[in-house]
Amino acid sequence: MHFILAVKVKWGKNVYNDIELNTDEHPLVFKAQIFTLTGVQPDRQKVMLKGAQLKDDGWGDLPVKNGATFLMLGTADELALEPEKKTVFMEDLSEAELNTKLDLPAGLVNLGNTCYMNATVQCLKMVPELKKSLVELRPQGSSGLVDSLSEVFRSMQTGSCVPPLLLLGALHRAVPRFAEKGPNGGLCQQDASECWTEMVRLMQSGLPAQNSNKHNSLVEQYMGGRMSVTLQCTESDTEPPLVSEENFLHLSCFIGQETGHMNSGLKAKIKEQISKMSSSLSRDAVYTKTSLIDRLPAYLTVQFVRFYYKEREAVNAKILKDVKFPLQFDAWELCTPRLQALIEPTRAKFKEIEDQRTQDALEGKDKPKPSKGVEPMEVDKDLEAQPYSFTDDPGSNNSGYYELQAVLTHRGRSSSSGHYVAWVKGDSPDTWYKCDDDVVSPVTDKEILKLSGGGDWHVAYMLLYGPKVLKVPKKPAEEPMSEN
């Protein structure tokens, strides 16, 4: 039987009280908690209880009980360096060390069927405002998911591979079903979409909105949209339509026999037939349900509904159908007429800039495309980025135009098996990174577009779109007026 206990850790003259210990979790999670308090790396800790040493592979017969005092031996000082620096060859480096040398994004260690969590974290990190808020979050000393995610984001800034031990423990405490174990005692694979939903939900209550009186949380502000829903009874000409609003944190792309593109899967849900009780007819009647977006978030999440429950096998089977998705997405057709009128001015500016580029190209004035390795800021030094949100609604999208920022894929035939990977956009044009747990490697746009499905290769499951930013030529600086 496993318990959540409150224990003490004695390290030298220091005593740390009321440390939460869950014997259902890996001992390394407990050591990671000690690390946050003492600065002693887990691999340099010797943790003792009544003369018995805590091993990394399990709790064994250690007499753990509420109020127990652990003795920890170890030093937080830097280890002495060898007098001579050895030559290190690239082929001798580990994947994590190679990532650091090549300036690749940090990877996350798989702690045993935790690829679903790692892929989710890598994708959510692509919302800059969310990342910034978490990195700057003052530690509360708790073991909650928001604090743990904050610690992971800060650690990932070093570029080295990060073992998300505390985050996994926090996720298990917040969502106990993710701590389920299989017959062999190892953690079960979980659904990345469910992990995404739960992490966003927990951040929704833990991160306040910024510079906005319209939203309570940062998540609602930058990732939440609003839908206008109209129900019209098709069997009564006198019954007035019912209009309501629904908030959403992602859009669902349902995959039918005719669905070949994400756009068609999303548009299929604009109008649908449903049956409900009619107040005017006093019976169930057919209604036309029209759902249109009335508030676009800066960062739009799209989930491909690829899994369905097969009763005979009792598994969530996967739809492998090839469904294309765009690198640039226009949400215009999904919006209400009211929102279309609001986003039209910014769209007109985009068209004006594009028309000017076309004209310059015809006249031979167009700038050469940036080469790989050239910083975007060097190419766009004569351009000035415009706000992507409405002035009275920070965190919204004021154009309806989006650019793909991250893709979470699944490889396998069931959501509770297989493997999850994140693919995230880089800073340079046509540069993406495949984040396969602790292995991070560069890929291109073409490889991203191959993730649309149709076989047993990695298949897009969750997409994250960010705002397409309008850039206009900088105004020339005004020359100072002559005194003469």
- In angstroms, the Cα distances linking 444 to 78, 372, 407, 451, 462 are 40, 11, 13, 12, 19
CA atoms within 13 A on the CB side of 321: 17
Residue 417 is predicted with a pLDDT of 80
Per-residue pLDDT tens digits for 437-469: 999 999 999 999 999 998 778 999 999 999 999
Q: Is the model more confident about 53 or about 375?
A: 53
d(CA 122, CA 436): 10
Q: Which domains can be identified in the chain, with CATH numbers? A: 1-74 (3.10.20.90), 95-367+396-477 (3.90.70.10)
Residue 121 is predicted with a pLDDT of 98
Q: Between β-strands 471-473 and 401-411, what pairing exists: parallel, antiparallel or unpaired?
A: unpaired
What are the beta bridge partners of residue 162? 108
Percent over 90 (pLDDT), the chain: 57
DSSP assignment of 268-309: TTTEEEEEEEETTTTEEEEEEEEEEEEE-BSSEEEEEE-EEE
Per-residue pLDDT tens digits for 182-229: 887 788 999 999 999 999 999 998 899 998 889 999 999 999 999 999
Residue 378 is predicted with a pLDDT of 46
420 pLDDT band (50/70/90 cuts)? very high
164 phi/psi in degrees, rounded to 5: -80, 60
Instruction: Evaluate whether 320 touches 459 at the Cβ level (below 8 Å).
Output: yes
102 pLDDT band (50/70/90 cuts)? low
pLDDT of 294 higher than 70 = yes
Per-residue pLDDT tens digits for 394-414: 999 999 999 999 999 999 877
Supply the mean pLDDT for the chain: 86
Which residue's entry shows tokens 């960010």?
A: 466
Per-residue pLDDT tens digits for 321-350: 999 999 999 999 999 999 999 999 999 999
pLDDT of 79 higher than 70 = no
Per-residue pLDDT tens digits for 15-40: 988 888 878 777 888 888 787 778 78
Residue 479 is predicted with a pLDDT of 58
CA angle 452, 438, 447 (to 5 degrees): 25
**Beta-carbon count within 10 A of 17 CB:** 10
Which residue's entry shows tokens 């800790």?
A: 45
d(CA 21, CA 37): 14
Three-class SS of residue 361? helix
Q: Between β-strands 300-305 and 459-467, what pairing exists: parallel, antiparallel or unpaired?
A: antiparallel
Residue 59 is predicted with a pLDDT of 84
Residue 377 is predicted with a pLDDT of 41
Q: Is the model more confident about 373 or about 110?
A: 110
Kindly name the residue from 26, 115, 123, 458 that is annotated as catalytic.
115
CA atoms within 13 A on the CB side of 378: 11
Instruction: Evaluate whether 253 touches 302 at the Cβ level (below 8 Å).
Output: yes
Residue 190 is predicted with a pLDDT of 93
Instruction: Evaluate whether 480 touches 414 at the Cβ level (below 8 Å).
Output: no
Which secondary structure element, helix H or strand E, spans residue 453, and what is its range?
Answer: none
d(CA 74, CA 303): 46
Residue 243 is predicted with a pLDDT of 95
- Least reliable range by pLDDT among 51-60, 74-83, 357-366, 380-389: 74-83
Q: Where are the alpha helices (DSSP H) in 183-302?
A: 192-204, 218-223, 262-267
Three-class SS of residue 348? helix
d(CA 404, CA 352): 23
Q: What is the CA radius of gyration of the chain?
A: 26
Kindly name the residue from 188, 195, 253, 419 that is annotated as catalytic.
419
Instruction: Evaluate whether 384 touches 472 at the Cβ level (below 8 Å).
Output: yes
- Show the tokens assigned to 434: 């495949």
d(CA 56, CA 45): 10
d(CA 218, CA 131): 11
Residue 419 annotated among the catalytic residues of the structure? yes
d(CA 270, CA 258): 16
Residue 428 is predicted with a pLDDT of 83
81 pLDDT band (50/70/90 cuts)? very low
Tell which residue, 156, 117, 115, has the closest CA to residue 135: 156
Q: Please state the pTM of the whole predicted model.
A: 0.79
- Least reliable range by pLDDT among 59-63, 270-274, 289-293: 59-63
Residue 77 is predicted with a pLDDT of 52
